[in-house]
Structure 1
């Protein structure tokens, strides 16, 4: 049996093949943390940008307050040189980044809107929120509220940004419309404290109750943005 594949299908498959990311998990040798997500180039993308070759990598996400953000790297920047090495492919970028160490200052040469520039970035360490690989669960029974750590699989399933950090609401009493939370919400902060483990939310709740305050201030991330809301303390 002969199977015919349309050329457009092949092109699409090739294009999707380069939509891969790096820096989502620390390397075994503890490479420096950049706080950015990148994407490989393709010939079609290069042509769209008016470039002759499909070299370099594109920045597709930047973690707020991370090394890349502090260095002034923006979404859409095209990195063509990293630590003095020409980046001719996605694989070269991965290998080069893997040889760096926390605290190291690296030069990043890039093109932004057709203008070349070089920035200096001080690499960070892989902090605990970025090291989460296993699921941990905690609950607030009075709301029939269950929360879980944000793993890569859960982040993808909920359509959250790569740079999102927080605790996921996995179950909430549908009749408790007064508390405002819903399944899939990402709790980013509790009373201005960053959280990434469910138990941290529970601890903040207990501390607030002990202090005699009536509400918790939550910062919630949803697909369409961030929201502050109050959770009554019982």
Structure 2
């Protein structure tokens, strides 16, 4: 069975379906004392115990700050996430009465039939869908609670259950879908609250002990222990993936719960697991506190995030691209385009630049840049180290706000012009032509896009191998602009004479989205 990522929120009947609890004991290895050898002259190093002797005192002081979160959502009958459709049965089936009795309770039917359409449509009546998750208190005076966004998504009612049995209704302060974090608030006058604080996840090393507390399968106040298995995991769940991987047992219902270090500080928010069966197999993922703390602070203060924005489109630096740009190492984020009206639309950063350091932080690969930019304050002046045409230089940039940039990007629209014939030539398995009005109309290319249009791509050609498609536009070759098919052929010829194995092409999509591609010249 293929393994899959699961966001461990517990829905509907998982708690009721848990019929037995498995209690295991972990035996600590006994120290083995060997007899001293008379001829030994050097003392052997002491054998240290493996793992903490007990986390009972630590857990006892933290359980009060960890909460169980139950939500309910009203949906139309038969539309819940676990709804079962009415089966199609042969006329006169002996099971007809049984299924009619079962399904009439989820539908608006007064009697039992399914005569109003296939599957028994009827007027569906509202039903309550319930979910369970975890969370933790970070501000006892204000009643601020942190959890996962997917735990409370689309909820009509959110109830926070405390370890002593107290229940309080919570209101939603703010959510961030990019990091899957939500902030809730309860009335602190209704109960004396205990809070925990965020620790520094950057100090956590692979092999450090961690403790997870949560509400797996509805079993509130469950404590599990393990180690940090890996750092900086990217599971493709969002643009800022930087998860801590742990083997501390995380199951359905643990979502939103804290991952503690041995000092009782929150170093992660338990969010996802890999599991072929839905249960823990020792591969869980937590949002690091380095990323979560800033998001929580912004949501609690503003009800929304306020992230830094550089205003560039980026792509990975491959070995071929690094070689084409004359770089000594394959690193950084390649700027494929600059967003019009963005913070660097003034030419400070240009397409073809490779950003290797941002505000003193190294950019080892493309995915590092969006995260460090987003974590920076809006309006901050930062130094950006980049490589431009093989030369390293530092530029200063004033950051914009990401949320404003997203609105700006959505407002961009492509324009079309009347039809006209296209003159073409061939190179590197591509048929290319002038980007005139006819080509723009044929391929729907926006008026702001300039260069040489690709009209055809031969199968099994170097261009096809790189995923180049008709309708894309060559804007640069080897970081030099091209405006005609002759410019393209002349530049490829010059690269051949220089002994280059690859040509670095900047391509624009129909809407102006830019990307760099290396194509084999031979």
Which structure carries more relative contact order (alpha carbon 8 Å, separation 6+)? 1
Bigger-Rg structure (1/2): 2
What TM-score, normalized by structure 1, do the two folds share? 0.44
What TM-score, normalized by structure 2, do the two folds share? 0.21
